[in-house]
Structure 1
Amino acid sequence: MDTLVLWDIDLTLVDYTGIGRKWYAEALAKVVGKELAHLPTFPGRTERSLAKELLKEHGEAHDDEHVERILAELEAIGLAARPALPTLGRALDGAPEILAALGSREGVVQSLVTGNLASLADCKLAAFDLARHVDLSIGGYGAISEHRHDLVEAAMAQASAKHGVTFAPKSVVVIGDTPMDVAAGRHHGTVTVGVATGRHSADQLADSGADVVLPNLADTPAVLAALLR
C-alpha cells in the first residue's frame, strides 16, 4: 500500500447544511427536556466535543455518561432520518468522481477522519452512493475524542493494522475544509489538503499551514494530481 487518503465528510464531500442544528436540538430535548438555547460552532469539531459543550452550556452535567446519552440519541435520530437524507443534502461537485478515481488506483486506501459518529458517516455518504469507495472500518470518528488529531491517529493505526504495513506520515493525506482538519494532519506530520468548499476561504486554509489548497473537488485530474503528488 502506497497512500492512505483520509477524508472529512461535511462540506468536503457532502453538504447537509442545517441538519446538525436540527439533530442536536432534538437530542437535547429528548435527553434533558430542554430547548436549544446555545448552538456550538460545528466546523472541524467532533461529536464528542460538540455534545460536551451542548450539555455544559445548557447547565447540564457533561461527564462521559451524559455525553454518551446525547451521542446515542443523536445516532438514533440520524439513523431514523436515513431514508430522507438524499433529499436533505447533496454531494459536492467532483466528490463522486474523485472518490471513484482514487478507488481505482492500486496502492491507495481511502477512509475517513470525520467528526461524525461512524454510523452517521456511513448514512451521509451512502445517501449519494459514496460509502462504497471508502473503507469505513478503519476510519477515525467523532465519538473517539474531543480532539481531532486523535481521530487521525486512530485511522492511521487501524489502516496499518489491517494492511500489515506502517503508513509513514508523508504517505498519509488528510483532507478537509477547516483549519482544524489541517491542524489534525499536521500534528502527525501528514500531507494536508484544504478544500475551500466550507466556511473557510482558500487564504485561511493556506494560512493554517495546508500543504495544498483546492477551491473545490470539481477538476478530477487536478485533484488527483494534488493528492498523489
Structure 2
Amino acid sequence: MELMGEHVGKRLVLWDIDKTLLDVEGVGFEVFSAAFAEYSGLTEHQETRGAGRTEWRWFHDTLLANGVDPADDGFARFLDVQDRLFAARAAEMVERGRVLAGAERILRHCAEDSDIISSLLTGNTRRNAERKLTAFGLDHLVDFSLGAYGDDHMDRPELVSIARRRVYERVGVQFTPATTVLVGDNANDIRAAQEGGARIVAVATGETDAATLRSLDADTVLDDLSDTDAVLAALLG
C-alpha cells in the first residue's frame, strides 16, 4: 500500500466464515455446547441460538439463559476449554464439513488483487477463525491480522470499526463506509454492515433465503459465491 488517506477504487472486503465460506455441519455448535457444559459444571443446560452472533455474545446469552452470573474472566476461561475441545475434533470438522461453492476461487482472486484488502469479520474468535480456514486450506488467502472477531467485542456491528482501525494502523489506508464491504449470509451480517458503516453483499448459502435477505435491505443479494464475476462486481460496485 502507498500513502495514508483514502484510496479511490480500493476495497476492504471482510468475509464471514460459517455458511458463507464454509459449512462445518454443526461441529462448532457441538463443541461450544460441550465446552459450556464443562465450564459451567451443568450436566444439562439450555442452549441458545442465533446465527451470526459473536461467540462472546453467544457465551453471555447462554450464561443468562441458565441463570449463571457472568464473571469478568469467564469468557477467557471458557475459550481455553473450547480451544482444547476444538483441537481434539479438528479431523472431524474436515470430514463433516466443506468449502462452499466459489469460496476458494473468489478468496484467491481478492488475495491477488492489489486494490483489495481481504480479511475477516466473523463471530468466531480469531483462534477458531484461523483453525477453520487452516483446516480447509484457505488460511493463506486472507490476512488474519486485519480482521475483527468474536472475542474482540460482544456486539457484531462494533467489529467493523475495529477492523478498519487495524487496517489503518497496519497499512495506513483509511477505508470508509463506501469502500468497506462485508460478505455474509444472515441478518446479523446485514445489521453489522448497516450499524457499523459498510456495504453488505449477502449470500443465500445459510439458513436465510434470498427473499428474506432482500427484505432486510441488503445492498446486494447473491445465491452463492460461484459466479466470480458477479461477486467481484458486487464487491467493487
Task: Specify the TM-score bucket, using the shorter chain as the normaliser.
Answer: over 0.9
For the residue of structure 2 that corresponds to 1:170, the secondary structure is coil
2:198 pairs with 1:208: no
Q: CA contact under 8 A between 1:205 and 1:213: conserved in structure 2?
A: yes
CA shift, 1:77, in A, is: 1.6
Q: Which amino acid aligns with 1:171?
A: T
Partner of 1:180: 188
Shifted more, 116-125 versus 50-59: the winner is 50-59
Shifted more, 58-67 versus 180-189: the winner is 58-67
User: Structure 2 CA distance, aligned partners of 1:114 and 1:36?
Assistant: 28
Q: Which amino acid aligns with 2:115?
A: G
For the residue of structure 1 that corresponds to 2:183, the secondary structure is strand
Partner of 1:98: 106
Identity %: 37
User: Structure 1 CA distance, aligned partners of 2:99 and 2:83?
Assistant: 21
For the residue of structure 2 that corresponds to 1:52, the secondary structure is helix
Q: Deviations over 1:14-53 (max 9, x none)?
A: 0012213311221122212213432211311000001111
TM-score with structure 2 setting the length: 0.91
Partner of 2:232: 224
Partner of 1:151: 159
Map residues 21-32 of structure 1 onto 2, 5 A cutoff. 21-32=29-40
5+ residue gaps, structure 2, are 2-9
User: Structure 2 CA distance, aligned partners of 1:218 and 1:186?
Assistant: 25
5+ residue gaps, structure 1, are none
The two structures, once aligned, show a CA RMSD in angstroms of 1.5
TM-score with structure 1 setting the length: 0.94
Q: CA contact under 8 A between 2:159 and 2:196: conserved in structure 1?
A: no
Q: CA contact under 8 A between 1:7 and 1:113: conserved in structure 2?
A: yes
For the residue of structure 2 that corresponds to 1:173, the secondary structure is strand
CA shift, 1:213, in A, is: 0.4
Alignment length, in residue pairs? Answer: 229
